[in-house]
Structure 1
Amino acid sequence: SGFWLIGKFCGFDTVTTFKTWSVVGTSISLVGFALSAVVFVIFA
């Protein structure tokens, strides 16, 4: 999975990889939601 690949390539331990993965995943989700809301407002 991408989780383990990122951890190995960046040289992170499991705890650091989990923290990084959580922050990045949350950020991507929030940006995706915001963009979806903007598109909905424009085209609705």
Structure 2
Amino acid sequence: MNRLRHVAPLLVLAALAACSRSEEKPPEVIRPVLSVVIEP
């Protein structure tokens, strides 16, 4: 189960990276998500 906790955030970040590249969203959208992932 510990692997899921580490893999899930990676999948979310990967999805955000893909969306940010395709839709050209600013990195400001990813910052709050990173803060949530880093601070559970």
Which whole-Å CA distance do the structure 1 matches of 2:2 and 2:17 have between them? 23
The one-letter code of the counterpart of 1:33 is C
Which whole-Å CA distance do the structure 1 matches of 2:13 and 2:19 have between them? 10
Which whole-Å CA distance do the structure 2 matches of 1:27 and 1:33 have between them? 10
Residue correspondences, number: 24
Unaligned runs of 5+ in 2: 25-40
1:1-44 correspondence to structure 2 within 5 Å: 15-38=1-24
Larger RCO of the pair (alpha carbons < 8 Å, separation 6+):
2
User: Cα RMSD over matched residues?
Assistant: 0.7
Instruction: Using the aligned pairs only, state the percent identity.
Output: 8
Q: Which runs of 4+ in 1 moved over 3 A?
A: none
